[in-house]
Amino acid sequence: MALALIVIASVFIVDAVWIEPNWIEVTHSEIHGPVTAPLKIAHLSDIHTNGLGQREQRMLEILDEEKPDLIVVTGDTLATHAGDYTQCRKVYERLHAPLGVWVVHGNWENWRPVKHEHAFYESAGVHLLVNASQPVRADVWVIGLDDPFSGIARLDTALAGVPRGVFTIALFHSPFYFDLAAGQANLCLTGHTHGGQVRLPFLHPLWLPGGCGRYLDGWYEESGSQMYVSRGVGMSILPIRFLCRPEIAIITVKP
């Protein structure tokens, strides 16, 4: 019995520490919306990067393979101990898509803010949206909210000026806000949960951060809106994953 427990513990440690954290899963989904042509979105979240490591290199390889029209990052873009963030900028400089790379605040951006953050992201060629919206195509608008758990999300402010009838993509970090945002955007993209990060068979995740509400990962639908909750690319608190691989979600919107 003791030997069996040692073997099980060893398998858990090897998987959780060395295998799963860098074993990114690519999930593919198709939805329909009022778009004039197909739109391929790469949804990243919770990258928690310190710089170009093995996981980040694999993320960039996947994006090169997938060739999305649009890349969005739904918060927790930077690691909590990244200092001056110089190495982090090198990751975001490598993200490219024809319709741009769009980023919103997570709780870590609010708790450990980057000095001159708009200039920081602009220098990396990335667009930061905080309670604001921008068109990425004549028929598609991106709405970026402050993290509703750690900051103040102002959906009405962000929606001001968005034309009626266009396809709207609302980006926010903490998925509990879908209870308020449902019905006000076609597609909501969120993260924050990490999918639980450590999942034991047949059990609810042992720990989830505040701001998740009743949401964990994957697709949800309410009041005519759809939301995808990403498991995220990086990790938080402990650098481990178990039965919960990091994720890049590829979502194609078709007419």
115-168 residue pLDDT tens: 889 999 999 999 999 999 999 999 999 999 999 999 999 999 999 999 999 999
Per-residue pLDDT tens for 11-53? 668 888 889 999 999 999 999 999 999 999 999 999 999 999 9
Q: What is the pLDDT of residue 3?
A: 61
CATH no., domain 2-254:
3.60.21.10
**Under DSSP, is residue 178 helix (H, G, I), strand (E, B) or coil?**
helix
Structure tokens at 241: 């994953």
Per-residue pLDDT tens for 45-81? 999 999 999 999 999 999 999 999 999 999 999 886 5
Q: What is the pLDDT of residue 123?
A: 95
Kind of pairing between the strands at 167-171 and 140-144: parallel
Burial (CB count <10 Å: 0-12, 13-18, 19+), residue 165? exposed
Q: How far apart are CA 165 and CA 44, in angstroms?
A: 26
Q: What is the pLDDT of residue 8?
A: 61
- What is the edge-to-edge ordering of all strands in the sheet holding 167-171? 132-137, 140-144, 167-171, 187-190, 225-229, 218-222
Average pLDDT, the chain: 93
Q: What is the pLDDT of residue 31?
A: 98
Nearest Cα neighbor of 192 from 179, 168, 203, 176 is 176
Q: What is the pLDDT of residue 83?
A: 58
Structure tokens at 204: 């609810």
Q: What is the pLDDT of residue 14?
A: 80
What is the pTM for the complete model shown? 0.95
Domain extent listing, the chain: 2-254
Q: How far apart are CA 233 and CA 204, in angstroms?
A: 21
What number is the average pLDDT over the span 172-179? Answer: 98
Per-residue pLDDT tens for 83-121? 568 889 999 999 999 999 999 999 999 998 888 899 999
Q: What is the pLDDT of residue 70?
A: 98
Q: What is the pLDDT of residue 4?
A: 57
